A and B are shown apart, each in its own frame.
Chain A
Amino acid sequence: MSRPLVPFLAGLVFALGLGISGMTQPAKVIGFLDLSGHWDASLAFVMAGAVAANLLLVRFGPRLLGRMARAGGAAASASAPGRAPLGVQLRAALRDRRLLAGSAAFGVGWGLVGFCPGPAIVALATGHGEALVFFGAMGLGMLAYRAAPALWARLRGQPAVRLPGPAPRQECGMA
């Protein structure tokens, strides 16, 4: 298939999945995150279904296709050579302040309105002003993340530190 078609189709199917699953309904997301009272557990099946389908494709897809994916299917396995034992990885992750602080900030924002980035983009199609405002603020937050090191450096009168570029493999969100 031509170059832009695969990512376009992936985005399209991703959006349809978000819509069908209920993830694009902030009220439903809040109902899932609200454990007190009438807990709506149904959205747990979204994550379970998505991880299961993705896991099967990542694990067995390369073999079925008869070749390794470009990024290296071997990296997909937790027990792949070159990866530290799970306990060591977990301890390193738990010491990673950026990972923890970022995830916590993300969790607060997600819990306040019920939108995470994918649904926020899909919801732009509603044309609601609220969706546009949320998307704009989200973009601003992303730009602020990029601008922050330079701002800090200027405040301290030091040369700017470059941000880490796109992560090599595991950090999906950075890819």
Chain B
Amino acid sequence: MMMEFLAPTAGGLLIGLAAGGLYLARGRMAGISGILGESLRLESADAGWRWSFLAGLLAGGVALRVLVPGALPQAIAASLPLLLAAGFLVGYGARLGGGCTSGHGVCGLAHGSARSLVATLSFMSVAVLTVYVARHLLAGVIP
């Protein structure tokens, strides 16, 4: 019982450490959708730190693959149309809403932002509703 919450808590603390460290050292928010979206803005003079952060994320993925293989999915059970639709909605929605789980959730809440609180409650409840509809009401219908 205890153990099953230990890893999520430890992982969460690392995420908060990374986000807080980036803010203290650079005054930047570790909002990943914003970092990825803005890193493509080539005219931006300060895209460099975003590329470094993204490289760090990828390096972390490679490190996990080597050191903690169980942390990464062995298989991703979703059809091609579902992956395309979900990916598009995540990318477009996060940019339109000004942030995602990291930007609004991890950073915004820690900074006491009311906007981020509203955003986090919105996407959490919509995601719960989506899972209910997709996995229960439409079980077997959605590929």
Is B131 within 8 A of A111, CB to CB? yes
- How far, in angstroms, from A3 to B87 measured CA to CA in the complex? 32
Using a Cβ–Cβ cut-off of 8 Å, how many residues does chain A contribute to the interface with B? 118
**CB atoms of B135 and A7 under 8 A apart:** no
Contact yes or no, A99 B98, CB < 8 A = yes
Grouping DSSP codes into helix (H, G, I), strand (E, B) and loop, the B interface class, with mixed when no group exceeds half, is helix
Establish whether residues B12 and A45, one from each chain, have CB atoms under 8 Å apart when the complex forms: yes
Do A141 and B91 touch across chains, with their CB atoms under 8 A apart? yes
A150 surroundings in chain B (CB, below 8 A): none
User: Which positions 102-143 of chain B face chain A at CB distance < 8 Å?
Assistant: 102-120, 122-132, 134-136, 142
For the complex, give the distance between the alpha carbons of A167 and B72 in Å.
Answer: 33
B24 pairs with A62, CB closer than 8 A: yes
Q: How far is the CA of A124 from the CA of B89 in the complex (A)?
A: 18
- Mark each residue of chain A from 98 to 118: 1 if its CB lies under 8 Å from any CB of chain B, else 0: 111111111111111101111
Q: Which of chain B's residues 21-68 have a Cβ closer than 8 Å to chain A?
A: 21-38, 40, 44, 48-65, 68
| B34 closest partner in A (C-beta) | A173
B residues near A144, Cβ cutoff 8 Å: 88, 91-92
Which residues of the partner chain B approach A130 to less than 8 Å between Cβ atoms? Answer: 75-76, 78, 83
Q: Taking the nearest CB of chain B, how far is it from the CB of A138, in angstroms?
A: 4
CB distance A107 to B130 under 8 Å?
yes
From A71, A113, A146, give the contact of B87 (CB < 8 A): A113
Interface of A is mostly: helix
User: Contacting A55 at CB < 8 Å: which of B11, B35, B110?
Assistant: B110
Question: Are A51 and B53 in contact (CB-based, < 8 A)?
Answer: no
Q: Report Cα–Cα, A140/B83, bound state, in Å.
A: 12
Q: Which of A1-56 contact B (CB under 8 A)?
A: 1, 3-27, 30, 33-36, 42-56
Roughly how many angstroms separate A51 CA and B18 CA in the complex, as a whole number?
Answer: 11
B126–A111 contact, CB under 8 A? yes
For B8, give the chain A residue with the smallest CB separation.
Answer: A45
- What 3 A-B pairs have minimum CB-CB distances, sorted nearest first? A15-B60, A173-B99, A11-B56
Of the A-B pairs whose beta carbons lie under 8 Å apart in the complex, a sample of 21, sorted by A's number, is A11-B60, A13-B60, A17-B12, A52-B13, A57-B21, A76-B111, A100-B97, A101-B93, A103-B118, A105-B97, A117-B36, A120-B90, A126-B72, A141-B92, A166-B34, A166-B44, A170-B108, A171-B116, A172-B99, A173-B98, A175-B38
